[in-house]
Amino acid sequence: MAIENRDLEAGTKLVAKYKKEDYRAEVVAGEEGKVKYKLADGKEFKSPSSAGTAITGKACNGWAFWSIEPDSDQTESQEPESSLGEDPEDTENLENTAAAGFRRVPNQKGVQEGQVRLYCNSCQSSFTSPADQPVISCPEGHYPGEASEA
């Protein structure tokens, strides 16, 4: 899931999947209070994008490429994922869309009541949708079940 809170603290663990391989990085303290992004092989980068580019071999949006490891300390400071409501059908619709290529964004701040912010794996962007209806496609026209091209 794309990283929304860019104020990452040293010690935060990052994960990514590229061409069916798992990659890991850690946010480490750098000079003058800035952080660096250290890959498992020990190489350090000034940005998550440059760390992602080192893996993919092409230009990369590091904030979309990396995700915060679920057990990382940084995860605790982010807003916890809440259910869509008391109605179990809402949760069922969410689970169906997540399995199909759309997933719920953990940070739902600013989303109108009755709406939910989702993330499309294909175009790597978020959009809002009615919480009580299944998602047919994202605004870019990607349909559930389409394979993303990483």
pLDDT digits (tens, 9 = 90+) for 80-127: 333 333 343 444 444 444 445 778 888 788 888 888 888 887 777 888
Q: What is the pTM of this model?
A: 0.49
**Does residue 95 or residue 133 have the better pLDDT?**
133
Judge whether residue 8 has pLDDT over 70: yes
Kindly list the distances between the CA atom of residue 53 and the CA atoms of 10, 39, 56, 63, 68, in Å, as whole numbers in the listed order: 21, 12, 5, 12, 17
The rounded Cα 91 to chain-centroid distance in angstroms is: 19
**Which of 16-30, 49-63, 85-99, 116-130 is least confident?**
85-99
pLDDT at 72: 55
pLDDT exceeding 70 applies to what percent of the chain? 75
The residue extents of the domains of the chain are 13-77, 79-150
CA–CA gap between residue 53 and residue 65 (Å, rounded): 9
